[in-house]
Amino acid sequence: MRGTSTTPSTPTPKASSRPLEEARGLTRSGVLIAYSHRDRDLLGELQVHLKPLQKAWMLDLWDDLRIDAGPRGEEELRRAIAATRVALLLVSPSFLGSEFITSETERALPVLLAAQQHPRAAVMCLYLRPALDVFADYPFIDPQTAMPRSVRLTNFHGLNDPMQPLAVLDRPARHQVLQLAAEEIIKAAHRNTVMTAAQ
């Protein structure tokens, strides 16, 4: 399996001092970043602002080459989503044309994230380059209600305006957007993550 992650996967959390909460729920940790390998330049700019997470081994980088091996890569991605506290999508035309999005509907990343069972990862989008497909609908069956639903990338929490993505901004403006986005990501990554199944 090919992979371009520059940091190891999130280590298994240490045993909790609250075993009853652990038994009833799930402890999530770290930040999963999903992106197209063609957007490594802008990923690199973001990583400069995420150094505190990188130093703490809290970043798990997933590019589209990492899941092109088929079912094995997809299953590993599902496990990574189930263990992560924050899922960050770096959205561009290349990302929207990647295996993350063009897989069969129930395996498309927006559907996997929207259909999470409790406890849920926070899902954030950082818009890198102009792409009208951010408004496309991804239909799926809600696993909790068995009712048909749909999700758009813009339904998730946006860290910037999809109509003003990073690539159209000058360097100072891009730096400001990335700094604010990183602060929000880091804050979310350090929130309490033990959530019971009853929530």
Secondary structure (DSSP) of 33-74:
EEE-GGGHHHHHHHHHHTHHHHHTT-EEEEEGGGGTT-HHHH
- What are 95's two structure tokens? 């990302």
- What are 137's two structure tokens? 């609908």
Listed range (73-77, 165-169, 184-188) with the worst mean pLDDT:
73-77
pLDDT at residue 137, as a whole number: 92
Secondary structure (DSSP) of 64-120:
GGGGTT-HHHHHHHHHHHHH-SEEEEEE-HHHHTSHHHHS-GGGSHHHHHHTPPSS-
Percent over 70 (pLDDT), the chain: 81
Percent over 90 (pLDDT), the chain: 56
Which of residues 34 and 19 earns the better pLDDT score? 34
Alpha-carbon distance of 11 to 35, in angstroms, equals: 21
pLDDT at residue 73, as a whole number: 77
pLDDT at residue 68, as a whole number: 65
User: 185-197, pLDDT tens digit by residue?
Assistant: 999 998 854 332 2
Confidence tier at 26 by pLDDT (50, 70, 90): low
Does residue 5 register a pLDDT over 60? Answer: no
Q: Supply the DSSP symbol for 11.
A: P
φ, ψ for residue 9, nearest 5 deg: -60, 155
Cis peptide before 110 (omega within 30 of 0): no
Alpha-carbon distance of 45 to 15, in angstroms, equals: 35
Q: How many CA atoms lie within 13 A of 121 on its CB side?
A: 30
- Give the residue-averaged pLDDT of 142-147: 84
What average pLDDT does the structure give for the chain?
82
Residues 6+ apart with CB under 8 A from 132: none
pTM above 0.85, yes or no: no
User: 87-96, pLDDT tens digit by residue?
Assistant: 999 999 999 9
